[in-house]
Amino acid sequence: MNKRILQLAVPSIISNITVPLLGLVDVAIVGHIGDASYIGAIAVGSMLFNVIYWLFGFLRMGTSGMTSQALGRRDLAEVQRLLVRSLSIGVGIGLLFFILQKVIIACGLWAMAPEEDVVELACRYCYVCIWGAPAVLGLYGFTGWYIGMQNTRIPMVVSLTQNVVNIIASLTLVFACDMTVEGVALGTVIAQWWGFLMALTLYRIYYRRLGKYDYHKKLFAAEPLKRFFSLNKDIFLRTLCLVAVNLFFTVAGSRESTIVLAVNTLLMTMFTIFSYFMDGFAYAAEALAGKYFGAKNWVAFREVVKRTMIFGIGVAIIFTLLYIIGGEGFLSLLTSDKNVIAASEEYFWWAVLIPLAGMSAFVFDGIFVGITQSKSMLCASFVASFSFFVLFFVWHPWLGNHALWLAFIIYLLLRGVVLFVIYRSKLR
């Protein structure tokens, strides 16, 4: 079982680590072609699309859970149906984004309220990036389906290749074709469509045989579609809770001071890096828990829960020790601003607590995605998010920015605790 978990987790971890490179490449390129307004435009445009795509992450999570369960039941016709449904809905939503692009981009820029010199450049960037929406959301469906099929290697290969294509395309368009933000955006779009078409090609190579099953029957029947949208509605609302907490964390820091905002942003990278590793084990839990839950193999299902928790605890301890030993040195790599580094000392130990506080939330999120218990995930996220806001506003007058970090740590703990309680009461 340990070997199987690692076989699924490690490729996912590698994929997760490469994801930020798409954005970093864009920033690095524009940093060499113009002033700060170019960098600001890329930052604003990237944030807009990141938030939008994050909200539609249910296309991956819902698909992975239902696919792994169908695989566990050996219902291969349903396995094929799930892929077709997910791709149809994902690409369809992407096309809807394209139709409504003016409204979406205008509302997004209004909400973020960038400086006047950034607005025009951000618009130019966004109006090109919107062409990649069908590919991104379609790839969510493919990724979820592959994870459900116990195959995390294909998403890893696709992700790595995407980054290579993005680098080559963006550099060529900017420096060889004399384009600016449009070139950077077009390079990203080319990489996104390359990833989608590559996932489709690999499906044709490795899973084409599934087409022999009669999947057309009940493909878009009312009952399975109702279940698909009901499941994904809960995941969407759960994601809204996560987005609200993360956006508020940034806003609350900015209201304190520029220094505090910078400190919070830097310290949160420690959470981000940890999450890349934990998400790998969450994906493994999705695939295996869903498969054994679908097969009604309760012994193997409980073993998956036990083993992924052990791995999670191990990863959390390793990261905690790494942050204690080398955390301050890591922050020095991210910034040379002595004032920011000095100010971070006051809040550093909050960030050190993140791995131990957040570990169980990642593992149980994966388990509950795999068994498609979306209402439980929504319940946990709502309780944790509500507690976060209440605790922050109660403690902030006395604790200031410490209240923000304390509320965030308790928020991470509660997500895992609530899901653990539900697991103990319903699934053991």
196 and 304 in a common domain: no
235 and 177 in a common domain: no
On the CB side of 380, how many CA atoms lie within 13 Å of its CA? 26
Task: Give the domain-ending residue among 199, 220, 241.
Answer: 220
Q: What share of the chain is helix, strand, coil (3-state, %, to 5)?
A: 90, 0, 10
* Residue 299 within any structural domain of the chain: yes
264 and 160 in a common domain: no
* Residue 298 within any structural domain of the chain: yes
326 and 242 in a common domain: yes
- pLDDT for the residue 336: 62
Q: What are phi and psi of 183, to 5 degrees?
A: -65, -40
Gap between the Cα atoms of 129 and 45, Å rounded: 8
Tell me the per-residue pLDDT of 1-47, one tens digit each, with 9 for 90 and over. Answer: 667 787 888 888 887 777 666 666 666 676 666 556 666 677 777 77
**What are the residues whose beta carbons fall under 8 Å from the beta carbon of 137, sequence distance 6 or more?**
53, 56, 59, 90, 91, 93, 94
Q: How many domains does the chain have?
A: 2
Is pLDDT at 104 greater than 80 in this prediction? yes
Task: Show the domain range for 254.
Answer: 231-428
* Residue 306 within any structural domain of the chain: yes
- pLDDT for the residue 31: 63
354 and 235 in a common domain: yes
Is pLDDT at 428 greater than 70 in this prediction? no
- pLDDT for the residue 225: 67
Q: Average model confidence (pLDDT) for the chain?
A: 83
- pLDDT for the residue 111: 72
- pLDDT for the residue 386: 94
* Residue 97 within any structural domain of the chain: yes
* Residue 57 within any structural domain of the chain: yes
* Residue 200 within any structural domain of the chain: yes
Among 57-61, 65-69, 221-225, whose mean pLDDT is lowest?
Answer: 221-225
pLDDT band at 221 (very low <50, low <70, confident <90, very high): low
Tell me the per-residue pLDDT of 171-196, one tens digit each, with 9 for 90 and over. Answer: 898 888 877 788 888 998 999 999 99
- pLDDT for the residue 24: 62
Task: Give the domain-ending residue among 168, 185, 220.
Answer: 220
More confident residue, 143 or 109: 143
- pLDDT for the residue 237: 87
pLDDT band at 146 (very low <50, low <70, confident <90, very high): very high
Residue with tokens 């060529």: 172
Tell me the per-residue pLDDT of 277-322, one tens digit each, with 9 for 90 and over. Answer: 898 888 888 888 888 888 888 888 888 889 999 999 999 999 999 8
Average pLDDT score over residue span 82-92: 89
- Which of the listed ranges 73-82, 92-101, 365-374, 381-390 does the model predict with the highest average pLDDT? 381-390
Average pLDDT score over residue span 317-333: 81
- pLDDT for the residue 37: 67
Task: Give the domain-ending residue among 185, 220, 255.
Answer: 220
The angle subtended at Cα 134 by Cα 128 and Cα 136, nearest 5°, is 85
251 and 171 in a common domain: no
370 and 246 in a common domain: yes
258 and 174 in a common domain: no
pLDDT band at 224 (very low <50, low <70, confident <90, very high): low
Gap between the Cα atoms of 365 and 176, Å rounded: 45
- For residues 58 and 139, is the Cβ–Cβ distance under 8 A? no
Gap between the Cα atoms of 419 and 428, Å rounded: 13
- For residues 144 and 67, is the Cβ–Cβ distance under 8 A? yes
More confident residue, 340 or 353: 353
Helices (H), 100-211: 101-112, 116-129, 133-148, 153-171, 181-206
The helix (H) or strand (E) run that includes residue 7 is: helix 2-30
Cβ count within 10 A of residue 168: 13
323 and 264 in a common domain: yes
Distances (CA, A) of 289 to 150, 293, 299, 317, 420: 11, 6, 11, 24, 15
Average pLDDT score over residue span 72-80: 84
* Residue 226 within any structural domain of the chain: no
274 and 197 in a common domain: no
Q: Tell me the whole-structure pTM to 2 decimals.
A: 0.83
362 and 238 in a common domain: yes
Average pLDDT score over residue span 203-217: 76
Task: Select from 359, 365, 400, 401 the least CA-distant residue to 380.
Answer: 365
* Residue 225 within any structural domain of the chain: no
261 and 209 in a common domain: no
Percent of the chain clearing pLDDT 70 (strictly above): 86
Is pLDDT at 215 greater than 70 in this prediction? no
Gap between the Cα atoms of 22 and 57, Å rounded: 17
